[in-house]
């Protein structure tokens, strides 16, 4: 692996205290090019602007996908990744769906570990903060013919991540726009999925909501996701979430929360849940809480759910009664090495690893 370190770091004490997500980038990045049917040597270089042709295929036809991950630092200064193998599997599933070459495991895993080893000082030591990792693949061939590219780049950039949302969210049920459909790319982290969500989200915010609860494209009867998050609904003492499908992203945080909830002895159901079922549960008092989850947000409770004809308010539950708040703390304690990891999810990034590569 080729490694070029920065001459001087841009890291300051203020860098690790930021309150905005996604614009405070660490010193280095990983790049690897695909050409003539093979992936080349992975390189770690200083974070920098890059030059591409205006005919680059990704710009015109959206052949691009990405992942979202985090690295954490414990009280001893050790750095950990969280379930990176799940992100490796998912980025390659996304790549295959978009007709892009899968990234070799050694490029993905060794590259991430080496990048984190070099920039470990950028991982915030503060509980609740992390270093966000953004692996992504995009088509680089300079052409505007409507066909799959034959040249690609795999990159990893990293950014300091504070708590993504500081307050419970007001969400609106989607009854017109859709995030995905059968046979589409909903299960992939395709770049275009997110671009298509921005306009409906804008409309929801103009009505006083923070995000959209996406429903199925065919009937808008079933709850699927919320914004960029998977959704959980708790009715009485049962936690319900939509089953993974070709429309719904196989969230790493979602899967982790299900495992923790079952470990707690709580009842979890992965099944379709109707909008009308959630509304009826609110009416009879059995709807206890609704929350979304994802890598960036971890877990965020919903304070209100907007329907075309009314808005349902949800009470803010104390920690001892809220399954969502308890699950968030349990997950974060595992990620930050503050508790035992009965699932084997933490992956330690060894120090001075780059000297062996």
pLDDT digits (tens, 9 = 90+) for 1-36: 999 999 999 999 999 999 899 999 999 999 999 999
How confident is the model at residue 163, as a pLDDT?
A: 74
Q: Name 165's bridge partners.
A: none
Q: pLDDT (tens digit, 9 = 90+) per residue, 78-128? A: 999 999 999 999 999 999 999 999 999 999 999 999 999 999 999 999 999
Q: Quick one: pLDDT at residue 36?
A: 97
The DSSP bridge partners found for residue 238 are 235, 267
CB neighbour list of residue 185: distance below 8 Å, 6 or more residues apart: 94, 97, 98, 192, 193
pLDDT of residue 309: 87
Give the integer Cα–Cα distance in Å for 178 and 319: 34
For each of the domains in the chain, give its residue range(s) and CATH number, in order of start: 2-163 (3.30.470.10), 169-335 (3.20.10.10)
User: Quick one: which H or E segment has residue 38?
Assistant: strand 38-39
Q: Are 293 and 254 in contact (CB under 8 A)?
A: yes
* Average pLDDT score over residue span 141-151: 97
Cβ of 227: how many Cβ atoms within 10 Å? 22
**Which pLDDT belongs to residue 167?**
86
CA 117/CA 352 separation, integer angstroms: 7
pLDDT at 356 exceeding the cut of 70: no
What pLDDT is attached to residue 166?
64
């Amino acid at each position: 692996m080729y490694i070029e370190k920065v001459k001087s770091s841009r890291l300051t004490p203020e860098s690790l205290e930021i309150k905005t997500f996604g614009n405070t980038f660490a010193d280095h990045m990983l790049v690897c090019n695909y050409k003539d049917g093979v992936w080349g040597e992975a390189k770690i270089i200083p974070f920098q602007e890059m030059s591409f042709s205006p005919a680059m295929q990704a710009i015109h036809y959206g052949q691009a996908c990405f992942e979202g991950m985090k690295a954490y630092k414990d009280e001893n200064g050790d750095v950990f990744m969280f379930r990176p193998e799940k992100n490796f599997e998912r980025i390659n599933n996304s790549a295959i769906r978009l007709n892009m070459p899968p990234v070799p495991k050694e490029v993905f895993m060794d590259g991430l570990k080496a990048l984190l080893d070099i920039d470990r000082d950028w991982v915030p030591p503060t509980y609740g903060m992390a270093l966000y990792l953004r692996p992504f693949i995009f088509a680089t061939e300079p052409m505007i013919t409507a066909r799959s590219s034959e040249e690609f780049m795999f990159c990893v950039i990293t950014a300091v991540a504070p708590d993504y949302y500081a307050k419970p969210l007001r969400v609106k049920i989607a009854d017109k726009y859709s995030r995905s459909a059968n046979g589409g790319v909903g299960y992939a982290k395709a770049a275009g999925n997110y671009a298509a969500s921005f306009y409906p989200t804008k409309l929801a915010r103009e009505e006083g909501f923070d995000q959209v609860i996406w429903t199925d494209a065919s009937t808008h009867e079933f709850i699927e996701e919320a914004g960029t998050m998977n959704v959980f609904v708790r009715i009485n003492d049962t936690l319900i979430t939509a089953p993974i499908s070709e429309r719904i992203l196989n969230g790493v945080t979602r899967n982790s929360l299900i495992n923790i909830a079952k470990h707690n002895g709580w009842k979890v159901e992965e099944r379709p849940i109707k909008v009308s079922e959630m509304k009826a549960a609110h009416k009879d008092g059995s709807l206890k809480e609704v929350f979304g989850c994802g890598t960036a947000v971890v877990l965020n409770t919903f304070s209100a759910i907007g329907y075309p004809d009314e808005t349902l308010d949800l009470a803010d539950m104390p920690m001892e009664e809220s399954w969502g708040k308890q699950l968030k703390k349990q997950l974060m304690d595992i990620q930050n090495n503050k508790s035992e990891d009965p699932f084997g999810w933490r992956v330690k990034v060894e120090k001075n690893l780059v000297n062996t590569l």
